[in-house]
Chain A
Amino acid sequence: MSIKNYIKIKNLSKSFGDVEVLKNINLEVEEGEFFSLLGPSGCGKTTLLRILAGFEYPSEGEVFFDDANVTSLPPNLRPSNMVFQNYAIFPHINVQRNIEFGLRKENLSKDEMQKRVENALKMVQLEGYENRYSNQLSGGQRQRIALARALVKQPKVLLLDEPLGALDKKLREEMQIELRNLQKSLGITFIFVTHDQEEAMTMSDRIAVMDEGNILQVSPPKEIYHNPKNKFVSQFIGNINILGAEIKSVSNENLLIEVDCFGSMQLKNYQQIIENDRINIAIRPEEITISKISDPNYDYNFQGNVKNISFYGESTYFYVQLNNSDKILMVSKNETKEPFSENDNCFVNFSSNNLKIIKD
């Protein structure tokens, strides 16, 4: 069985008045994929989700579900269901009737209906909550009921609008794993909107990073982390050191550059096309090591001074000011016991193959 693209978005734009919130979006999402729309608030990700749900209509462009054009189909006729950011549990009816809400037209017998509701509640581990009302549920429970209410309809696509945003950190992490497992076992397409890059990274098959109405990159999490297409993506996903540099010469696949704070460096096996003389060089904090004496295993070693140390438990960040430069480098280390304290002199070491060239 070949995996096909279930959702297709073609040349889609959306404006509210004079404000263009989505600019010529093209996107394809595979069947059974856990797909995240990731971006800062106001980037257009929620609007894109609402267009998929049918609450907003695009100003231009088309949306296809399973090759059928659904661009102007109202939400009640779409094979998609949504988990709302605030869950939208109907406060005037109990959990049982909330979950049954969307099944009215399916003409199920009472037993069948009961069975569907029970299964849905079991799926979200809330058996026995049938008679509760929205105000008798915790945030996490509401979130699960919203999920059950959408899944009981057996949708082809589940749309989730920052569903974990209102939960505390611990519960959020549990739900991330649970959602991921649920999606794998049901095999339906999840479109997940979030502004939390960690959440997107841990759950998704693929992520679309959005900013100011544009999709900047669509890739699996690892690809996005290691090969960000531009400065925005690199900075939005994880921490990164970005340094200005100038190209001195290009020979074969080797590039000779002058980095603002490091001086001249050579990049090997470089294949990207360079348009400008000015470029950005980036390196992740964990790709740099810090030591008391210069470490000869790395291509480059620079002397510096530890300005700040931030301890995060599983890792520690050092902010190192390089000698003869204003530039402060972020260096991370996994060991919890660090032999450094603030204002110590140190060496930072890294290899040239970890240096990436990044577009603006």
Chain B
Amino acid sequence: MNSTIQNIYFRSDQAKAYTLLSPALILVIFAMAAPMIVMIFTSFNTQISMIEIDRTFTTGRYEDFFSKPIFSMLLFRSVKISFFVTLLTLVTTYPLAYYIAFYVKKNKMLWIVLMTLPFWTSYLLRVFSWRVILGNKGVINSALMGTGMIDEPLGFLLYNQAAVIITLSHAWAAFAILPLYVSLDKIDKSLLEASYDLGNTKFETFWRVTFPLSLPGVIGAILIIFIPTVGDYVTPQLVGGTDGRMLSNMIQSLFGRANNFPLGAASAVLMLTTVCLIAALVTYITKKVSMRMS
């Protein structure tokens, strides 16, 4: 008797909660899950003309993907570039987040706003701006030539993987600063004082206390930068050249000029699978490491 009343209360709470959640879940189901399922089905089809697709089941598109080395190469390169973007962004923003968390006393909010503001201004224009900075007639080259330090523009600045990595790292900085700052700011300062008190130097304290405690922020930043950048299209297109092309550029052309929807879908499926596997791996390793630490 007692438990049935509770069950009704409990169930009605669940009913209310899911009524509130239903618009969001319907959105995710119809605008993401269903299209993805159709995308997976399409990846097993064949394009036969400009507008016609043969719906018979075939693994042909996946065979295409793996038989032409360019596809695997682009997928591998996308992952590689994202890996370096993530690494570079983490390494360059960690000191910044550290400084704001521990040294900035007043107006922390202002610092955070200033650090994240560029993120909101047009992504396209920011990437384009890097082309202007790195180009043959760009800011760096014209400045160097103007001062007479070089006679000919440095051609290696633009249209390569390094340019893509620098530009993406600039574009995604805010996504690293925020989680890093939050995890560093949460650290109880008395823990660090305790570490000094117990005889550790500042350096030792950082590696033995601060850094391990900031790991949740590091992991958050890794996932939130690595996953989306694997699929970035604008940056490689604008500053990557042939050397910096990524899988997204190929996917786009398969839905554009090349007009091969099934192969494009297969490429997207493989990109998603790769990203999921890597994300799962990162999460798994983190769990193992944090379990061993505790």
Contact = CB atoms under 8 A, between A and B. Distances in A.
Interface of A: 13, 15, 17, 57, 59-60
B9 to A, nearest CB: 8
A15 B1 CA distance: 13
10 contacts: A13-B2, A15-B2, A15-B6, A17-B6, A57-B9, A59-B2, A59-B5, A59-B6, A60-B2, A60-B5
Contacts of A13: 2
A57 B5 CA distance: 11
Interface of B is mostly: helix
**Size band of the interface chain B makes with A:** under 10
Interface of B: 2, 5-6, 9
A232 to B, nearest CB: 26
Contacts of B2: 13, 15, 59-60
A13 B5 CA distance: 12
Contacts of B5: 59-60
Contacts of A59: 2, 5-6
A17 B6 CA distance: 7
Nearest to B5: A59
Nearest to A57: B9
Contacts of B6: 15, 17, 59
A139 B9 CA distance: 36
Nearest to A58: B5
A54 to B, nearest CB: 15
B12 to A, nearest CB: 12
A283 B9 CA distance: 48
A59 B6 CA distance: 7
Contacts of A17: 6
Q: Which 10 A-B pairs have the closest CB atoms?
A: A59-B2, A59-B5, A60-B2, A59-B6, A15-B6, A15-B2, A17-B6, A13-B2, A60-B5, A57-B9
A60 B9 CA distance: 13
Given A17-B6, A57-B9, A59-B2, 5 more contacts: A15-B2, A15-B6, A59-B5, A60-B2, A60-B5
Nearest to A16: B6
Contacts of A60: 2, 5
A59 B5 CA distance: 7
Nearest to B2: A59
A269 B2 CA distance: 46
A326 to B, nearest CB: 38
Contacts of B9: 57
A13 B9 CA distance: 15
Contacts of A15: 2, 6
A204 to B, nearest CB: 32
Nearest to A60: B2
Which of A17, A57, A59 neighbours the largest number of chain B CB atoms within 10 Å of its CB?
A: A59
B25 to A, nearest CB: 26
A74 to B, nearest CB: 15
Nearest to B1: A60
B98 to A, nearest CB: 32
B2 to A, nearest CB: 6
B243 to A, nearest CB: 57
A59 B3 CA distance: 9
